[in-house]
Structure 1
Amino acid sequence: MVRPQRTHVTAGYTPLGETACASRWPNSDHGASTRPRGFAVLDEWGRWPAPCSYPSASRRRSDALAHGGDTMKTPIRFLALSFLTATALGGCADSPDYVPQVTTATLTKAESCDHLLDLLRQDATMKVDMMIDAQIAYLKAMNDRDFVASPGVQEDAGGGMNTGDDGAAPPEHSETNVQVEGVDEADIVKTDGNYLYVLQGTQLVVVNAYPAETMSMGSSVAIEGHPLEMFLTDEHIVVFSSLPMEMVTGEQPVYDDYGYDGYQPMTKVTVLAHDGGNTPSTVQEYYFEGQYTSSRRIDSQVRTVLSSYFYAPFLRLWPHKWTEDEGEMIGLYETLRLENYSAIAAADLDDFLPDRYVRQGGELVEVAPSCTDFYVPTFGSTAWGYTDVAAFDLNALDAGAKTTSIVGMSDTVYSSHDALYVAGHGFNETAFTASLTSSEPVSTSYTHIHKFDIATDPATPTYVASASVPGYIHDQFSLDEKDGVLRMTTTDTLVSEQDWDIQNHLFTLGPQMEPLGAVTGLAPGEQVFSARFVGDRGYVVTFRQVDPLFVFDLSIPTKPLEMAELEIPGFSNYMHPIEGGDFLLTLGQDGDEFGAVGAPALQMFDVRDAKAPKLVHKLVLDEGWTEAQYNHKAFTFYQDMLALPFTSWEYSGGYESRLDLFDVDVETGITLRGSVDHTSLFDGMEIDDCYYYGWGIDVRRGVFIEDHVYSISNGGIIVSNVDDMSLVSTLPMPADYSDDPYGCYY
């Protein structure tokens, strides 16, 4: 069913300085000041006063028109926009309309190491206050009243090398499925047409892949830690791996003030040189404290995004004991607050900042942080931790890595050719507690998005601006940039004293992250399962009972317009544009009209008419699962063929691991061409054997080289002819067992 066009109200705007409600902020090192914008102090009953009062919807609309209609002038430093919606809060019939608010901000850049330390202390103090205030408010609310809790939202060696590369053009081959053409994404398998490069256990394995009939093992290189992903260029291989800090420094980190040992993750970036005919050799090694989030490569420029989690110097956020007496508990919390104040005041930069190292001449050398490359948002607004953007040029490795850091963790990365965006959850410890005593809906989630310029000086990501949006981002495909305008979707969880609801929003932001337009209140009670932006179109799939496919016209960024809503059972996890964007090939789950979820399914939508999208083809797969539903890199579409890893189970208790190959045609539909079964490659492997983390029987990738498809699993590689799916060759790959008793948990 295609629903008619939704009523849309254009966003009005008001400078934050006119609406922000500032209150005196105690315990400041700088005398009288104001509490950071956008936050309010919980009162003695744990109530959450609204930080601002807004004019009526009609007044805001008039103000927007008075300021020039579609042309909006942005204050240099801060701007708040109230996005309006004509859709009432779906789950709260008696509540007023919910008004999502997007705020644009410029972060504070540290001017010196002393300035950075002062900023970090203030940020940590604010977070401690907010967390303790929230716990006290929650304690009072639980003692005073019953409440309706939000259900939340689901948050997705062998022989010598083949030297057959004689300088001729490499065989035609598929590439890693990426979001933006020309912006490479790291993966576990790469090919140049002559060789396959595979991360296998703790090894980088190079396979002589072409010709297919003589496929053989080439060489392998041990990678320190647990390999995650890699890039491949004509001259270099860049491997990202994770490992515990103690493997790097030899020191066991301490978890807290009780003296318990803890696990502190590090990310290693290994750069290897290769020429296709010899074993790759290591030429550079970087170590960063923190977890690998994602990376992008444009030509020789590699940019890595990492997140490091910290509580600062042994901060305790919960009392050592619990008592039923409310007054005594509040006293314990207040004592805890003062103890944390003292710990923060005594901390130095080493207590706050993540460690970085580089290996030079075989020796591990610590890299001192550049304090002026740190940016700090509004105090208390981000999650504990840091986001690091580390960049280096493969053609200038001697220059080292340039790192820019922002206070607050990130979990989503998007890159165009001109800008890199990183996004992470906001620090919202108090929001759910506030909802317990609020008669109006309170958003319990929001996301910070930071923009970096990577075009002006490709070697150095330059911070541009930031924005905070209500809700959370589903994945990288919820973000897209066109002509300097960021288009994005979020899912927002709203909670009040008596009710809860979920809504979805689409926002457009300008080059300085200033809000331009919005469509809000989409699909109340549902959540975003996938999104894709193609040219001036936006496509969003939500799901709860049926699968609405929303189509948006984004040709005028200040006036995004919902064109249609097509409802079908089930949902789509991933949308892939084909035929120049006229059709969408999607992967998801089949379902019925009652919301029951069935087997995985491939579907094709005709979206040539934005007002009348049509489901034109559908193929329900076997019961089972595929990595491609949550990792687009496992979805390989090449010359009208789709290679899809698939694992299914048998009623006898066994598993079948295979690569399915489909023909995709807009006229004839989606048909199974054949399957390549890898189950036999795992014969004799026991479930309780100690393999490295990530080991499994699943086929991981399908790669095309000329008229052959290479199916790759941990058990080995099987080559098939795509014309008749006949077997061409098989290369078993040995299991990578762990000799370390902790190896299974890397």
Structure 2
Amino acid sequence: MKKKVLAAGLLMTAILLTSAFTPVSTNAGQETIVKLEGQPIAFSQQPRMMKGILMAPVRDLATALDMEVTWNEAERAAVVTRNGYELKLPLNADYANVNGKATTMNGSTQIVSDSLYVPLRFFMESVNHVVRWDSATSSVNITKQTDSLPVVGTYDHLVTLLTQNESNGMRAYAAIAKSAISDSSTTSSAPPAAGSAGVAVQDSAKPVSPEYSGTNVQVQGVDESDVVKSDGTYIYTVNKQRIVVTQAYPADQMKVLSILDFPKAANTSNTQFQPSEIYVDDTHLIVLGQSYQNLKPVPYNEAASSSSIGILDKRMISPIRSQATTKVMVYDLADRSNLKLVKEVELEGNYISSRKIGTSLYFIANKYVNYYNYREMANTDDAKKELAPAYRDSSAGDSFTSIPLDQIYYLPKALEPGYVLVGGLNLNDLTQTMNVTSYLGSGQNVYASEDNLYVAATTYEDQQQDTILYQFGLNNGKAVYKNTGKVPGHLLNQFAMDEHNGHLRLATTTGEVWRTDEGTSKNHVYILDANLKEEGKILNIAPGERIYSTRFMGDRAYMVTFKNTDPLFVLDLKQPDQPKLLGALKIPGYSNYLHPYDENHIIGFGKDTVEVENKNAAGSQSIAYYQGMKVALFDVSDVNNPKEKFTELIGDRGTDSELLYNHRALLFSKEKNLLSFPVSVMKLDPAASNSKNSASAYGSFAFQGAYVYNLDLEKGFQFRGGITHLSQEDLSKAGQHFYAGDKQVQRVLYIGDTLYTVSNGFIKANEISTLKEKNTVAIP
């Protein structure tokens, strides 16, 4: 008897390991390509769809992962092992044992074509891998995951998750709306990439161009989209829902080469696609924006409401839910006078941010889920389709593909009624379909290094405000989830994050400025390791104030906080487990943006302030009134005693610059001794009775355009002059307030020895050395 059992066991082992099973019937469809880390898995028997579940031979899956497979005759189960891990798969069962714990499978193990088949998703997820389906190419992409996220899985589970968090709906929507602009605001980080010069490139379509300026970005090597881009010969601009291509070099031959219009939406002057930002490289123009072509208005569902929903909530149900999409359009630059569209991709939701690293493009969207409209709907296909996110890739056709709920993970620590969608494109091969990952949750701020993308979301739990971080590895247009981390407080913007030597550094604020108890605002710096685990921290910096700007530079960090005065703090982060606060400088005003000059000097852009006594407040409290724009050069050679070496004050109260909330508006070149930015200057009339007598008095309009400076360590800021697109007639019509309209200068850039200023109405070329005008082209 024992011999018979042993023989049977040996036979089953041989069958399992050599694929000698009796076949069973299947619902086999077209052949499916299964890739592990981008490489196809070699199957002895092809994966098959059975009752809607993708099944594959367990032996082949185990072999691909370098795992061992044996047969346990007593339990009639295949046993997969490696390094102490054990997965036991009973025959014809809808459950398995993972390290001794019984786990239900979606599907059952079966004998197919003489092989033991197992649900592919279950097998891979049980060994800590991510499985994603690409319907456009009928392929499965499997990648290793270091920190697993739970999967949404079913419609019922999604409803449960949304029900638990529907009270967060309005806050989530507000956060999503805010995040659409938060990534453009400033504070700072990383070595200087501003004004980084492009490389002169020669091709058949353009002459050899000299050195030229690029977009002021946060991380060197990681490009950011903007409204103006140049390749050293041409200037590309987002211009009133159009894209304008201008031949800018040589300046004496400057002309508008082409204008790219987009179709108008029905019964409106707006386009179906509204471009917001662009990228340019040697071969492609990439346009990003919002598309409203597929907008599906949702009528108010009276039956879906409950008596607990107030009148205000009912009014807000229909407008909140929007099915606008984030759209990317890629154009071939072979003929710039006739741009050719070569690819379109879309993600449902509002555009949040993007990055371009080499030939890889990554972009992020937030799709809000208006659950109120579907809370009473049955488990129908329509309900599932409406609640699930979707995407489109022109390589696969014009229709949208809904992402199945069993392929959507959720972010449990940032669970909101919405989805974060990350799209990735390999611009080297536009025939490849877009890589899309989707997560139920929210994200507001985005930071990217060359290797990783971080999405940060602010959460509230037990009256505690935290920032949840999600890390995605980047590789050739693919963004793969890696880790989750958490720090107390909230981030100001993207510059509050920085990756350096395998560590993520963050600056956060907790509490509220207006409170005077334990809940008052405090500021902190956290250092996380490669797995987003806390390694070091500095707590409780400047109680009662909040962060206005931060700059991480190598082993140091600089932080500006503000309430009535501007403390500039210097922090030593060289030892991640022992960061130190070194020195501080308190001066009037504040800096919204910090930019490196060199390793021992940093430029601050912000506002000057005047502190006056608050006669309406008890005690000796005072109020700080902001005045004109202030630019300062800080000397941090002595890290324990930072100094304000030079300052430049521009205008009076009311003076403003886009640079104060968008770092991309800065042009700086240390090598060219050049500093420039757009500014709207307001000035008080010295003869007026209220001039300088009241800190709250606003100035009248005096200038809009670009201010140009020389900047060095000997003479500081040397004002060269202003370049405006306004005529004398325009200026003569100006009153206390003035709207420059299409003549408002938005960006400044250089090509060779020529400085270019760009507005919606004009591009003007001036000599850098003298600021003498060389040419002007009007944009129709």
Instruction: Compute the TM-score of the two structures, normalised by the length of structure 1.
Output: 0.69
Q: Contact 2:236 / 2:246 at 8 angstroms: preserved in 1?
A: yes
Q: Do residues 283 (structure 1) and 323 (structure 2) align?
A: no
Number of the residue aligned with 1:643? 676
Whole-angstrom CA distance in 2 between matches of 1:496 and 1:420: 35
Q: Contact 2:590 / 2:606 at 8 angstroms: preserved in 1?
A: yes
Q: 1:532/1:728 Cα in 2 relative to 1: closer, same or farther (>3 Å)?
A: same
Question: Which of 641, 656, 659 does residue 612 from structure 1 map onto?
Answer: 641
Offset, 1:256: 5.5
Q: Contact 2:166 / 2:417 at 8 angstroms: preserved in 1?
A: no
Q: Contact 1:312 / 1:344 at 8 angstroms: preserved in 2?
A: no
Whole-angstrom CA distance in 2 between matches of 1:193 and 1:256: 55
Offset, 1:619: 0.4
Question: Which of 401, 425, 429 does residue 458 from structure 2 map onto?
Answer: 425
Whole-angstrom CA distance in 2 between matches of 1:497 and 1:570: 22
Number of the residue aligned with 1:377? 411
Q: 1:129/1:227 Cα in 2 relative to 1: closer, same or farther (>3 Å)?
A: closer
Offset, 1:695: 6.0
Q: Do residues 597 (structure 1) and 626 (structure 2) align?
A: yes
Q: Do residues 387 (structure 1) and 420 (structure 2) align?
A: yes
Runs of 4+ in 1 over 6 A off after TM superposition: 129-132, 163-167, 344-347, 495-499, 650-653, 684-687
Number of the residue aligned with 1:354? 389
Q: Do residues 470 (structure 1) and 470 (structure 2) align?
A: no
Whole-angstrom CA distance in 1 between matches of 2:327 and 2:648: 42
Question: Which of 173, 178, 198 does residue 237 from structure 2 map onto?
Answer: 198
Number of the residue aligned with 1:630? 661
Question: Which of 551, 567, 572 does residue 553 from structure 1 map onto?
Answer: 572
Q: 1:679/1:374 Cα in 2 relative to 1: closer, same or farther (>3 Å)?
A: same
Q: Contact 1:681 / 1:715 at 8 angstroms: preserved in 2?
A: no
Number of the residue aligned with 2:158? 120
* Unpaired stretches in structure 1, ≥5 consecutive residues: 1-75, 78-104, 133-154, 157-162, 316-339, 432-442, 688-692, 735-746
Residue type at the aligned position of 1:451: Q
Offset from partner CA, 1:4-46 (integer Å, 9 cap, x none)? xxxxxxxxxxxxxxxxxxxxxxxxxxxxxxxxxxxxxxxxxxx
Q: Contact 1:107 / 1:466 at 8 angstroms: preserved in 2?
A: no
Q: 1:267/1:128 Cα in 2 relative to 1: closer, same or farther (>3 Å)?
A: closer
Number of the residue aligned with 2:753? 707
Residue type at the aligned position of 2:343: Q
Number of the residue aligned with 1:178? 217
Offset, 1:312: 2.4
Q: 1:486/1:373 Cα in 2 relative to 1: closer, same or farther (>3 Å)?
A: farther
Question: Which of 490, 498, 518 does residue 508 from structure 2 map onto?
Answer: 490
Whole-angstrom CA distance in 2 between matches of 1:208 and 1:609: 47
Number of the residue aligned with 2:534? 515
Q: Do residues 232 (structure 1) and 270 (structure 2) align?
A: no
Offset, 1:167: 6.8
Q: Contact 1:647 / 1:657 at 8 angstroms: preserved in 2?
A: yes
Whole-angstrom CA distance in 1 between matches of 2:379 and 2:539: 43
Number of the residue aligned with 2:246? 207
Q: Contact 1:238 / 1:272 at 8 angstroms: preserved in 2?
A: yes
Whole-angstrom CA distance in 1 between matches of 2:417 and 2:402: 22
Offset from partner CA, 1:343-384 (integer Å, 9 cap, x none)? 5977943232223223469x63112315455221227x4333
Offset, 1:276: 5.7
Number of the residue aligned with 1:30? none
Alignment of 1:433-472 (within 5 A): 443=464, 445-454=465-474, 457-472=475-490
SS of residue paired to 1:351: helix
Residue type at the aligned position of 1:253: V
Judge which range, 411-420 or 253-262, deviates more: 253-262
Number of the residue aligned with 2:329? 270
SS of residue paired to 1:364: coil
Q: Contact 1:313 / 1:343 at 8 angstroms: preserved in 2?
A: no
Whole-angstrom CA distance in 2 between matches of 1:497 and 1:187: 41
Whole-angstrom CA distance in 1 between matches of 2:526 and 2:164: 29
* Unpaired stretches in structure 2, ≥5 consecutive residues: 1-126, 129-145, 171-183, 186-201, 263-271, 303-313, 613-623, 686-698
Q: 1:184/1:682 Cα in 2 relative to 1: closer, same or farther (>3 Å)?
A: farther
Whole-angstrom CA distance in 2 between matches of 1:471 and 1:561: 20
SS of residue paired to 2:641: coil
Number of the residue aligned with 2:190? none
Offset, 1:484: 1.3
Judge which range, 383-392 or 473-482, deviates more: 383-392
Residue type at the aligned position of 1:528: I
Q: 1:252/1:675 Cα in 2 relative to 1: closer, same or farther (>3 Å)?
A: same
Whole-angstrom CA distance in 1 between matches of 2:662 and 2:715: 27
Whole-angstrom CA distance in 1 between matches of 2:301 and 2:742: 35
Residue type at the aligned position of 2:565: V
Q: Contact 2:228 / 2:236 at 8 angstroms: preserved in 1?
A: yes
Q: 1:107/1:622 Cα in 2 relative to 1: closer, same or farther (>3 Å)?
A: farther
Q: Contact 1:660 / 1:676 at 8 angstroms: preserved in 2?
A: yes
Judge which range, 254-263 or 635-644, deviates more: 254-263
Whole-angstrom CA distance in 1 between matches of 2:212 and 2:344: 30
Offset, 1:697: 4.3
Alignment of 1:295-444 (within 5 A): 295-314=354-373, 348-359=383-394, 364-369=398-403, 371=405, 373-378=407-412, 381-428=414-461, 431=463, 443=464
Whole-angstrom CA distance in 2 between matches of 1:424 and 1:412: 7
Aligned length: 551
Q: 1:480/1:360 Cα in 2 relative to 1: closer, same or farther (>3 Å)?
A: closer
Whole-angstrom CA distance in 1 between matches of 2:750 and 2:167: 56
Offset, 1:725: 0.8
Judge which range, 347-356 or 282-291, deviates more: 347-356
Offset, 1:401: 0.9
Q: 1:555/1:606 Cα in 2 relative to 1: closer, same or farther (>3 Å)?
A: same
Number of the residue aligned with 1:567? 586
> By percentage of residues, which structure has more strand?
2
Alignment of 1:676-715 (within 5 A): 676-680=723-727, 697-715=743-761
Residue type at the aligned position of 1:504: N
Residue type at the aligned position of 2:433: G
Identity value in percent: 29
Whole-angstrom CA distance in 2 between matches of 1:201 and 1:458: 33
Whole-angstrom CA distance in 2 between matches of 1:637 and 1:236: 26
Number of the residue aligned with 2:707? 660
Residue type at the aligned position of 2:639: A
Whole-angstrom CA distance in 2 between matches of 1:606 and 1:497: 33
Q: Contact 1:587 / 1:603 at 8 angstroms: preserved in 2?
A: yes
Q: 1:576/1:313 Cα in 2 relative to 1: closer, same or farther (>3 Å)?
A: same
RMSD, aligned α-carbons: 3.3
